[in-house]
Structure 1
Amino acid sequence: MSRTLVLGDLHGGLKALIQLLEKIDLSTSDELIFLGDYVDGWSDSANTVSYLIELAKQNSCIFIRGNHDDLAHKWLKTGEMNEKWLEHGGQSSLNAYRNFTEEDKKKHKKFFSEMVNYYQDQDDRLFVHAGFTNLHGPEFEYHETAFYWDRTLWEMALAINEEIKPDDFRYPKRLKHFKEIYIGHTPVTRIGETTPVKKANIWNVDTGAAFKGPVSAIDIDSKEIYQSDPVHSFYPNEQGRN
């Protein structure tokens, strides 16, 4: 039986991703939805992209655009970079691409350009890296950067009183559009958690792979959770993101 699995932020932790997929016992009939931030963090950033390109040849994969992916793509296309990006993982991507040929980089630029800002399935489940701000839903979003930068969706979910149900007039309108919303971007380690967290109808699957956490995946139907070992344990001589 095929499964749909949602995977959280990777940040160049290819070794952890490979272990995770082994734990999942991945079948070619399984669909994979990646929530973004494939690069910027560990030394395998560029190798992670190469791996994902090959993985998509055997499995149905949906690649959501993350903020780090957008920044890395801009650098690959135009050389554009900024100090903040370099300080928060960008330098690892620059280093990772030093031995890549122009032909390899061309394939990667194509991969980045074909990512989607969000995906909605037939069961009204939304998959997006960060969030959206428009009360009428993501299709009405004014600025696409919200899809991979906005943190207010998750902050709002954390602040909701659990007694307030969807039929209550106080329940946030943004959340009423979907049965479930799956996001990454803001590590759940910030609230002291190490596994995917559900607040209201939002599942946050970013378990801090860029720092001291694992790469995580969740089966959207059974809600079974799979996790790698902490990513930093695969890269003992590296610091990851600061």
Structure 2
Amino acid sequence: MHRRLVIGDIHGGLKALHQILERAKVTKDDTLIFLGDYVDGWSESPQVIDFLMELNKTNNCIFIRGNHDELLLDWLTNDNKNIDEGMWFQHGGKATVLAYASVTNEKKQIHMEFLRLLKDYYLDEKNRLFIHAGFTNMNGIEHEYFPKMFYWDRSLWETALSLDESIPKDSLHYPKRLTLYNEIYIGHTPVTKINKTVPIQKACLWNVDTGAAFTGPLTIMDVDTKEYWQSEPLKDLYFNEKGRN
């Protein structure tokens, strides 16, 4: 069985990543699409990156860039123009900096290369878009003027979330961005913000960030069947840590 599985934001939670791969019974025949934000939050950000690099040797993995991954790369390369250290620390960066204190310079170089090679998005043969956050151009990803929006935008999710479901898709009032792709899979904005802990579909959007950075579980979902598997809440797996809470 060849499945295509999408994974939400991990945020340094290696224990949860192990759990979902086991619970979904992932094999080397499965394609794994990671939506980004591998780091910042729980204490195992370097170990998550190590594990993902090893996993890529046995599975077809697609690694998409998240905003926290870009922040880590900026910090590792001493490019601090995009980093407000106080804000980054408040949103999970402190745990990452502490974790990297015991990582060798050689290993840091390897991690930097991994982070540089992350994809802005992935569009499959069924016109399904996988992207960390969203896009702002009404004509789609290839026309985006601001590529950073691929991993910073929240307006696409907010648009889908607030959409009046009675508006037909062929209406002039229907958001054009939600007509371009058969499905769009995102992370970035946890569904715990609307008091949910499972993947949520709004229009053609599927939000798979189930709040692993905070009080929710990590999720892996089969994009064809929509079956999903979840870890225990990360606050229970890392009971002596705060994550991004």
Which TM bucket (shorter chain)?
A: over 0.9
Q: Secondary structure at the match of 1:177?
A: coil
Corresponding letter in the other structure for 1:10? I
1:142 to 129, 142, 145: 145
1:110 and 2:113 matched: yes
Correspondence for 1:197: 200
Aligned length: 242
Shift in Å, 1:165: 2.7
Q: TM-score, normalised by structure 2?
A: 0.97
Corresponding letter in the other structure for 2:35? L
More deviation in 47-56 or 167-176? Answer: 167-176
Superposed CA RMSD in Å reads: 0.8
Shift in Å, 1:78: 1.5
Corresponding letter in the other structure for 2:59? N
Alignment of 1:4-153 (within 5 A): 4-78=4-78, 80=80, 81=83, 82-153=85-156
Shift in Å, 1:86: 1.2
Deviations 1:123-162 (A, max 9, x none): 0000010000000101111111101111000000011111
Distance in 2 between residues matched to 1:229 and 1:192, nearest whole Å: 17
2:232 to 229, 234, 238: 229
Deviations 1:45-73 (A, max 9, x none): 11111110111110000111000000001
Shift in Å, 1:181: 0.2
Structure 1 residue ranges, 4+ long, deviating more than 4 angstroms after superposition: none
Distance in 2 between residues matched to 1:214 and 1:192, nearest whole Å: 13
Shift in Å, 1:102: 1.0
Identity across the alignment (%) = 54
Distance in 1 between residues matched to 2:236 and 2:16, nearest whole Å: 9
Distance in 1 between residues matched to 2:208 and 2:18, nearest whole Å: 17
Shift in Å, 1:208: 0.3
Shift in Å, 1:79: 5.5
Q: Unaligned 5+ residue runs, structure 2?
A: none
More deviation in 70-79 or 212-221? Answer: 70-79
Distance in 2 between residues matched to 1:108 and 1:90, nearest whole Å: 16
